Homo-oligomer: A and B are copies of this chain.
Amino acid sequence: MELLLRSPLDMHIHFRQDAMLDVVAPLSAAHFAGGVIMPNLIPPVDSLDRLLWYTNEVRRAVGTHRFDPYMTLFFRDYTREELVAAKPHIIGIKLYPAGATTNSDGGVKEVLSMKHVFAMMEELDIPLLVHGETHGFVLDREREFCEVYRTLATAFPRLRITMEHITTEAAVSLLDEFENLRATVTPHHLLITLDDVAGGMLNPHLFCKPIAKRPEDRDALLAAALRPHPRLMMGSDSAPHPIDKKESAGCAAGIFTAPIILPLLAELFEKHDALVNLQAFVSDHARLLYNVEPPTTTVRLVKESMIIPEQYESVVPMWAGRTISWRVAEVS
């Protein structure tokens, strides 16, 4: 049994920088024809200079793979001139609520005080990508943030807003309320709940932000992905941390899935008799929603078991050591 995917895209990736960039960028680029590269470096990618530097770094690390990096700026109070100058080089601007995730301490404290920037982005047709969590109780943050999404989607009806890595039934429902809202969802949030993180032994390698939620939430996300919802895209949020930052007294948030995303999804979609919808979820929706033309590639997956490696260099992937039933046989 085999499956061919054309130009799969990962619409939410953390490539990091320096040595980690060199480890993880080729792993994504080996399977994907393109992806959205997040700007939460230290310091963040929040100027044209830094953006061009990072774009070069990413291209260098990707090497000869046919992979289009869709670059993003880190949201701040940009001028119109800055936005105009950056626009040709980016797919959108990523907004992090302050302190919500890795290296986002410099993010915007009060989203709603930045309406003048959103207005310019709407006018210039620059998409807004959002890590949508408040500073509330960990399980309520995304649900509470839905009010911010509502406010933004209503105030800026032509601004294309991506709710990144959604994890709740509430966010799925929001997709159907507003035409200008779209979302990414990670493979891991289609597969796990808080039970997998903390229901047995505590598993730091399944700890991420937003944290995995309740079974009802996972089921709502999965139903939308399998359907497939036309405004839902696969964005892995693959986020590498070295093992000593994970198996630690203060474990960093992030699940590393880059090299196993397509096998995980093939197994999941096959289980639910929805393999036919995987192409749309991992490529076609993103192409339409972002109007991108990635390189033409074909990934051939076969239903043959593979054991997920224990580590990729210093990084432990999701479900290390587990056997899954699909693998990537060839990319052409």
A207 engages B198 (CB within 8 Å):
yes
Chain B residue numbers with a CB within 8 Å of A195 are 137-138
Q: Is A258 an interface residue (CB 8 A)?
A: no
B249 engages A204 (CB within 8 Å):
yes
A253 engages B214 (CB within 8 Å):
no
Chain B residue numbers with a CB within 8 Å of A56 are none
Cβ of A107 to closest chain B Cβ, rounded Å = 15
- Which of chain B's residues has its CB closest to A138's CB? B199
Q: Is A112 an interface residue (CB 8 A)?
A: no
Q: Is A193 an interface residue (CB 8 A)?
A: yes
Q: Is A215 an interface residue (CB 8 A)?
A: yes
Chain B residue numbers with a CB within 8 Å of A253 are 201-202
A214 engages B137 (CB within 8 Å):
yes
Q: Is A57 an interface residue (CB 8 A)?
A: no
Query: How many copies make up the complex?
Result: 2
Cβ of A221 to closest chain B Cβ, rounded Å = 16
- Per the 8 Å Cβ criterion, residues 235-290 of A in contact with B are 246-253
A250 engages B199 (CB within 8 Å):
no
Q: Is A139 an interface residue (CB 8 A)?
A: yes
CA distance A198 to B211 in the complex (A): 8
Q: Is A323 an interface residue (CB 8 A)?
A: no
Q: Is A203 an interface residue (CB 8 A)?
A: yes
A202 engages B204 (CB within 8 Å):
yes
- Per the 8 Å Cβ criterion, residues 120-157 of A in contact with B are 137-139
A248 engages B249 (CB within 8 Å):
no
- Which of chain B's residues has its CB closest to A252's CB? B201
From B138, B205, B249, B316, contact of A198 by CB (8 A) = B138
A193 engages B316 (CB within 8 Å):
no
Q: Mark A164-200, 1 if CB is under 8 A from B, else 0.
A: 0000000000000000000000000000011101110
A316 engages B249 (CB within 8 Å):
yes
A205 engages B249 (CB within 8 Å):
yes
Interface residues of A (CB under 8 A from B): 137-139, 193-195, 197-199, 201-205, 207, 211, 214-215, 246-253, 316, 320
Further contacts, 17 of them, CB under 8 A, given A138-B199, A198-B198: A137-B193, A137-B194, A137-B214, A139-B194, A139-B214, A197-B198, A201-B252, A201-B253, A202-B202, A202-B204, A203-B250, A204-B249, A204-B251, A246-B249, A247-B248, A247-B249, A249-B316
